[in-house]
Structures are given as C-alpha cells and as structure tokens.
Amino acid sequence: MPENSEVAETLLEVLGNESRRRILALLSKKPCYISEISYSLKMAPKAVLEHLEKLEKAGIIRSFEEGRRRYYHINKSLRIEITIAPHLFETSVINGTNDLDVEKAVREAKKMLDLEFEKAGVFELSDAVREIEKIQQNMSRLQGMINSKINEAFERITREINACINGEVERIVMIGIAKGVRTAAEIAEQFGLPYREVEVALKNLEKRGVIRRSETKNGIVWRLK
C-alpha cells in the first residue's frame, strides 16, 4: 500500500540532488566502495561520503564490509509515484507486496475504464472517483510487485555469475550483458571500466564459451550463450 506522503517527500528531497542520483545509477549496476564511486563519477571522496551518508540515513542504500573496504548497495526495491493532474497533486511510496489478487484487480480496472460519465450525476461521479482511486492504488501495488520480480531475477543472475566467474571485471561484464548492455564501449561507459580491460574480459569469456559475438551493421555486439 502507498506509504504516507511525508516519507515520499523525504525521499524526493534526498533524490533531488543530481550527484546522489548519479551515485544511485552507479550502485544499480553493482555494489561500490567510496574510492570506486569517486573515480567513476569524478567526485571528491569527501563529497561521495556525505552523499552516501544521506542516502543510507534515508534507507535507500546499505553498506557492508569486505576485507578492508566498505561497499554500498541499494537497500530494496521501491517505487516513488508523483501524480500531477488538474484536480490532484500527490506523492507516495509503493513497496512491492505479494498479497494482491492480480486477476481481480485487472478485472476491476477494465470494468472501470469502460464506464461512461456523460450521463452520471454528481453523487455517482463522486462514488466512481473513490472506486477509481482504489483501483489506482492496486495498479501501483501491481507495478511494485513487477519491480520486485525484476529485482529478484537480477539478484539470481548476479548470484549465478558470481558463483561461476572469478575475475571482478569479467563478472561486471557478464552482469552488464545480462542486463542488455551489448557493446564493449557501452559496458566500459556504464560501469566505469577501462575499455581495454573490457575487451580482454570479453575475449576471455568468449573463449570459455559463456558469451558470443554477433556482427551487426552498427558493429560487434555481445550476448549470453
């Protein structure tokens, strides 16, 4: 269910900073430590730490220690909704829950969309608006469930890759390809890796038979086998 608007306002305030959004975009690809974020985003380590502390305080990210490094990662899947309409302004946070009767929610949404309002009176319209709001909340919850499923799938992909690939660069390259990044240049740019290291990793993975190259009119692209 949508959480109260104060939570959404707090999250929007934290996410209103461009640098913090860039950090989250990087962390959505893989957990990172401070100097890694600093290098990838060309930001001072002190500034990175300050942004991470605010994101962690808001509950958006968490951290864990591995060896001498502290890694940061996105804490959970959540969806922030902003509704702006002539008669409505609303912000809410949607968490994916699995207690929604999806088939019933879809049937109710379809039934409501088929309604005609031209001949309805004020009281009928008022009741219809309340019902539509309930349906809208269910659709938001459904979207949250979909987001959670996507996240669950990528978590499984990451675990499988980590279990069978030892090199850090090769693991990142595999995760990138699994997420739909197709060229060496795109992988290097999105994950902040040296292009040459990406090329070497791609060749090694190809030799081991876990990825394959395809020639297209736009150049070479890579896919999982």
In this predicted model, what pLDDT tens digit does every residue of 75-132 receive, in sequence order?
A: 877 778 888 888 778 887 776 566 778 888 888 888 777 777 776 778 777 877 788 8
pLDDT score at 195? 93
Task: Check if the beta carbon of residue 190 is closer than 8 Å to that of residue 176.
Answer: yes
Residue 19: count other Cβ atoms within 10 Å of its Cβ.
Answer: 13
CATH classification number, 166-224, choose in 1.10.150.120, 1.10.10.10, 1.10.8.420, 2.30.110.10: 1.10.10.10
Q: What is the pLDDT of residues 132-161, one digit of tens each?
A: 888 887 888 888 788 888 888 888 888 888
CA–CA gap between residue 151 and residue 176 (Å, rounded) = 15
Tens-digit pLDDT profile for residues 62-88: 999 988 899 999 987 777 888 888 877
Q: Is the pLDDT of residue 181 over 60?
A: yes
Query: By the 8 A CB rule, do 60 and 74 touch?
Result: yes
Q: Which residues contact 112 (CB under 8 A, 6 or more apart)?
A: 128, 131, 132, 135
User: What's the pLDDT at 95?
Assistant: 64
Matching CATH topology for 5-74 and 166-224? yes
Domain 5-74 has what CATH class? mainly alpha
Tokens of 36: 């890694």
With tokens 């795109």, the residue in question is 186
**pLDDT confidence tier of residue 4, bands split at 50, 70 and 90:** low
Query: Residue 51 in contact with residue 17, Cβ under 8 Å?
Result: yes
All structural domains of the chain with their residue ranges: 5-74, 96-148, 166-224
What is the pTM assigned to this prediction? 0.68
Tell me the pLDDT band of 177, cut-offs 50, 70 and 90. very high
Q: Tell me, what's the pLDDT at 96?
A: 56
- Cα–Cα distance measured from residue 45 to residue 42, given in angstroms and rounded to the nearest whole number: 9
Q: Contact, 187 vs 198, CB < 8 A? A: yes
- pLDDT exceeds cutoff 50 at 1: no
**pLDDT computed for residue 127 by the predictor:** 79
